[in-house]
Amino acid sequence: MPDCLFCSIVAGTVPAFRVVDTEEGVGFLDIRPVFKGHVLVVPRPHVSQLTDLPAALLPGYFALVQRVAAAVPSALGSQGTFVAINNVVSQSVPHLHTHVVPRTKGDGLRGFFWPRTKYASDEEAQSYADRVRIALDGAL
């Protein structure tokens, strides 16, 4: 879809801090992360929400989400992850995307009120992307 931001990221016409790029999908840092290292995983084809993802693509897509969810704590030293999908409501970009957010006990996240933070620079964002990418590569 030419007007879809995430399709443009998948196509490489819009820059992003990529952590993974496979046949099943692309993972990149959220530019307004809940916590630094917050990754968005998107399928390659444009689908608006989870219910639109063809059944044949589910295993590969969720295997990729699972890999990212395993890599984030390893890469960033968090205790775990919060994995979530919004469908339509609270979906700022109408392209299916799965949030993989690093979590540590006492990090202050409560319920569904997600505070947002910013990276200090592109270099800092790139360093987070690199760390998750390296952990993903090691998990292959």
- Active-site residues, by number, are 97
Q: What single string gives the DSSP state of each residue in 52-71?
A: GS-GGGHHHHHHHHHHHHHH
First-to-last CA distance in the chain? 30
Q: Taking the CB of residue 16, how many other CB atoms lie within 10 A of it?
A: 22
Q: Give the C-alpha separation, 56 to 89, whole Å.
A: 25
